[in-house]
């Protein structure tokens, strides 16, 4: 099977990583040196969870070894150091996505961040927050719009918000190739639309959606825009201000950080007007037996003991990405994604979802092998030390629309080499023969 080669100009460009640099980068990731089933590990599941460089592991360990204390609560030296490190981490993550310090709210993950928004809108719909929060209230006749390609985390919370408020949930459909039907989007998004929520980059298709066009439609309707940046923040240069979105969510564990940490970005004036979801300690100004007053954002959304070590480790992760260069990472993954799609498309009986070879996509590819269930494909690859994702990837409606129940997904990151892609492609080319599919 012929595998397309990366153009020499791209391979040697200072604007992209290359295999030699990637091999050096891999030394920072201890797990990549291990074997699985007697084979060198080829990790192609970063779309689900990325691996951690030593600097991230050391940042979290150093916090616990040297400055473990509650933040915003103590006057002793350790508490002050912990609070400074915690808030410095917020500043680093804010700068990484082009936001202001006050516009980043810590959450456990992106799923929690979307739910935070949805329940805060519910509270506004109950009259909480007064006149300042009235713009977030929903009622029968209002509409929430998402897309048919959404991850469940950016779908179910909006369905539930519609159920709680009497609003109508609608979605922008995709065509047979998985692309958004933008002509239908223009008809769906209108005067009744209060929220438009969509993914920046699909975790199944690899598609990079037309954010400016979608934002323009929302602005014309006076709707708020919520961007799922889980698959873009780790892989593309992300500037939430330039994209002109109102809110964005992303998860640390997909961008070299630890699990248990994510973030909600929101325009400061919107966050300050939005009624809180979780309530308790550390997010209040004054509490009486009759009621409470709440701090401005971001603290008003951070009740209770926070994810201190995880936030500090996430800051180390974004520093690692920034120092490597997001433009260079994106260029490298674009090349790897092209290699994946062209190689998979050349294998008989393999259907690749998403943009055709040569079209823009992030460095992942979900595919179906005719006559072989995705779980069997995954087990076959795992036996060869290749880690991929199998299933519906938390996107059942999208799979159903494309006539599938499950696919296999290979997703790349800055630590993957072209040799690993070629080994993966060679293994996939053996799958149908091994299972005698099509005989």
Q: Strand, coil or helix: what is 264?
A: strand
Q: Is residue 152 part of a domain?
A: yes
Residue 266: which CATH number?
3.40.640.10
* Residues pairing with 247 in the sheet: 226, 266
CA distance 252 to 241: 20
Q: Is residue 59 part of a domain?
A: no
Residues 314 and 333 in one domain: no
Sign of the alpha-carbon torsion through 23, 28, 31, 33 = positive
Residues 248 and 330 in one domain: no
CA distance 309 to 436: 50
Element spanning 170, H or E:
strand 168-172
Q: Is residue 439 part of a domain?
A: no
Helices (H), 14-146: 19-26, 54-66, 77-96, 110-125
CA distance 44 to 86: 31
230 is catalytic: no
Give the pLDDT confidence score for residue 224 in this predicted structure. Answer: 98
Residues 316 and 234 in one domain: yes
Which string of DSSP letters, residue by residue, matches 297-357?
TTGGG--SS--HHHHHHHHHHHHHHHHH-HHHHHHHHHHHHHHHHHHHHTSTTEEE-SSPT
Q: Is residue 107 part of a domain?
A: yes
Residues 122 and 209 in one domain: yes
Q: Is residue 309 part of a domain?
A: yes
Residues 309 and 333 in one domain: no
- Give the residue from 322, 349, 383 where a domain finishes: 322
Residue 387: which CATH number?
3.90.1150.10
Helices (H), 102-175: 110-125, 156-165
Element spanning 147, H or E:
strand 143-147
Q: Is residue 25 part of a domain?
A: yes
User: Beta strands of 173-289 (E only): which ranges?
Assistant: 193-199, 224-228, 247-251, 262-266, 284-287
Residues 357 and 280 in one domain: no
Q: 285 phi and psi, to 5 degrees?
A: -100, -45
Q: Is residue 57 part of a domain?
A: no
Per-residue pLDDT of the chain (439 residues; tens, 9 = 90+): 333 333 333 333 458 999 999 999 999 999 999 999 999 999 999 999 999 999 999 999 999 999 999 998 878 999 999 999 999 999 999 999 999 999 999 999 999 999 999 999 999 999 999 999 999 999 999 999 999 999 999 999 999 999 999 999 999 999 999 999 999 999 999 999 999 999 999 999 999 999 999 999 999 999 999 999 999 999 999 999 999 999 999 999 999 999 999 999 999 999 999 999 999 998 999 999 999 999 999 999 999 999 999 999 999 999 999 999 999 999 999 999 999 999 999 999 999 999 988 899 999 999 999 999 999 999 999 999 999 999 999 999 999 999 999 999 999 999 999 999 999 999 999 999 999 997 7
Residues 82 and 101 in one domain: yes
Residues 112 and 221 in one domain: yes
Counting the structural domains of the chain, the total is 2
Residues 299 and 373 in one domain: no
Reported pTM: 0.94
For 30, the domain range is 8-52+325-434
Out of 3, 394, 426, 437, the active site residue is 394
- Give the residue from 266, 293, 322 where a domain finishes: 322
Q: Is residue 348 part of a domain?
A: yes
CA distance 155 to 392: 14
Residues 408 and 269 in one domain: no
- Give the residue from 322, 348, 375 where a domain finishes: 322
Give the pLDDT confidence score for residue 361 in this predicted structure. Answer: 93
Residues 31 and 120 in one domain: no
Residues 199 and 266 in one domain: yes
């Amino acid at each position: 099977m012929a595998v397309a080669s990366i153009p020499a100009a791209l391979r040697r460009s200072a604007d992209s990583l290359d295999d030699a640099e990637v091999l050096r980068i891999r030394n920072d990731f201890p797990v990549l040196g291990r074997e699985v089933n007697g084979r060198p590990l080829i990790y192609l599941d970063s779309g689900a969870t990325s691996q951690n460089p030593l600097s991230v592991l050391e940042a979290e360990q150093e916090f616990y070894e040297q400055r473990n204390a509650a933040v915003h609560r103590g006057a002793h030296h350790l508490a002050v150091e912990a609070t400074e490190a915690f808030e410095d981490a917020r500043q680093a993550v804010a700068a990484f996505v082009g936001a202001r310090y006050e516009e980043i709210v810590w959450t456990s993950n992106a799923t929690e961040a979307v739910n935070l928004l949805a329940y805060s809108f519910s509270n506004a719909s109950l009259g909480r927050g007064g006149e300042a929060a009235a713009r977030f209230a929903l009622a029968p006749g209002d509409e929430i719009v998402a897309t048919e390609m959404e991850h469940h985390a950016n779908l179910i919370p909006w369905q539930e918000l519609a159920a709680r408020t009497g609003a109508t949930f609608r979605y922008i459909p995709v065509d047979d190739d998985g692309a958004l039907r933008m002509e239908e989007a223009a008809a769906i998004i209108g005067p009744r639309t209060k929220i438009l929520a969509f993914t920046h980059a699909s975790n199944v298709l690899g598609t990079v959606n037309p954010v400016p066009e979608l934002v323009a439609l929302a602005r014309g309707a006076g709707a708020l825009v919520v961007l799922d940046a889980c698959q873009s923040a780790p892989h593309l240069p992300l500037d939430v201000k330039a994209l002109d979105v109102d809110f964005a969510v992303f998860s640390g564990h997909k961008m070299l950080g630890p699990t248990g940490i994510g973030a909600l970005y929101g325009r400061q004036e919107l966050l300050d007007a939005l009624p809180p979801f979780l309530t308790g300690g550390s997010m209040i100004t004054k509490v009486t037996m009759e009621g409470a007053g709440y701090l401005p954002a971001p603290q008003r959304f951070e009740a209770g003991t926070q994810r201190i070590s995880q936030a500090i480790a996430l800051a180390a992760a974004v520093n690692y990405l920034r120092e490597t260069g997001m433009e260079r990472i994106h260029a490298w993954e674009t090349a790897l994604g092209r290699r994946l799609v062209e190689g998979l498309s050349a294998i008989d009986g393999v259907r690749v979802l998403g943009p055709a070879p040569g079209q823009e996509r992030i460095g992942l590819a979900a595919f179906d092998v005719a006559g072989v269930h995705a779980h069997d494909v995954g087990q076959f690859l795992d036996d060869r030390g290749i880690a991929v994702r199998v299933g519906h990837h938390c996107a059942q409606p999208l799979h159903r629309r494309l006539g599938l129940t499950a696919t296999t997904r290979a997703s790349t990151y800055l630590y993957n080499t072209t040799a690993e892609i070629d080994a993966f492609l060679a293994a996939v080319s053996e799958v149908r023969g091994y299972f005698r599919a099509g005989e």
